[in-house]
Structure 1
Amino acid sequence: MNSRLPKILTASAIMLLLLMIGGFALRAMLESTMQPQCQNQILSTLVAPQGKHSAILFARDCGATTGGLARHIALLPAGAQLPAQEGGFFVAVLHRDAPAPAEPVRLAWRPNGDLQITVAPGMEMYHGATSVRGVAIHYQFPPSPSAAAQP
């Protein structure tokens, strides 16, 4: 009986190791299929006057977990591709009670190389930086047409 004990322990250790490897592989497979596969749709790319950076306005679709009108902006070196994981430095979403604006977010480079972002009425900014990659970011929030018409 003593001579069989090392063989049994070795076989048990191998089986346990195989079960652990299989469990990790199954977990990784399930996690990759359970996570939403987000896709970015680039709406516009605007290269800075100095040619060093590109401001990329995009919509990010992560399936049924996201809804409504959302706009993201990333600032990358000119010519760089927007990574699939990129969330950008700016996120604005249409307020649930607001009508969809024709142009929810507008980008413009100032002559000095600063980036101007105009956010349409009805859009709520959830994330926005004031400087990215050494570029100053400025925001404009024009009043809604109905608010501008009031005395």
Structure 2
Amino acid sequence: MRWTLAILITAALIAGCAPICENEVSAAARSPSGKMKAVLFNRDCGATVGLNTQVSVLSAEAVLPNDGGNVLIVDDDVPLALQWESDGSLKITGTLPSRIYKQEHVVAGVRITYGNYKRSEKTL
């Protein structure tokens, strides 16, 4: 009986440590060869952290992990466009908010450019 109770308490503690963030994919674009993909998604981590827009570059067969983006992380729900210029070059366009938390220029051997975008006038 004690072991059963101990197992139930341990299981409840582990379940309570489950990730509270969720990723919702908005769009995905495959590279010209189809070997890589860029994924645009919103990440929601509950009431204490607002919704944000993120981009990850992954191999084509990979599933988007329940983690933050490896290319771009910006505040709010932001419409962005993903365009592969070649297998080694991805262009991200759109209106970026004033808060940019992450903005990489090379990920997984892919050069990332940010073109034809402007920062919004929104202030927090």
Give the TM-score of the pair, scaled to structure 2: 0.74
Identity %: 32
User: Which of the two has higher C-alpha Rg?
Assistant: 1
Aligned-pair CA distance for 1:80: 1.5
Aligned-pair CA distance for 1:77: 0.4
Alignment RMSD (CA, Å): 3.0
Q: What is residue 113 of structure 1 aligned with on the other side?
A: 88
Which of these residues, 52, 69, 74, is aligned with residue 88 of structure 1? 69
Give the TM-score of the pair, scaled to structure 1: 0.62
| Aligned equivalents of 2:107, 2:120: Cα separation in 1 | 31
Which of these residues, 29, 52, 56, is aligned with residue 46 of structure 1? 29
List runs of 5+ in structure 2 lacking aligned partners. Answer: none
* Highest RCO, 1 vs 2 (Cα 8 Å, sep ≥ 6): 2
| Aligned equivalents of 2:27, 2:40: Cα separation in 1 | 5
| Aligned equivalents of 1:63, 1:122: Cα separation in 2 | 20
Which of these residues, 7, 24, 41, is aligned with residue 58 of structure 1? 41
List runs of 5+ in structure 1 lacking aligned partners. Answer: 1-17, 95-99, 147-151
Aligned-pair CA distance for 1:108: 0.9
Q: What is residue 8 of structure 1 aligned with on the other side?
A: none
Specify whether residues 91 and 141 from structure 1 end up closer, same or farther in structure 2 by C-alpha distance, changes over 3 A only.
farther
The structure with the largest helix share of the pair is 1
Aligned-pair CA distance for 1:79: 2.4
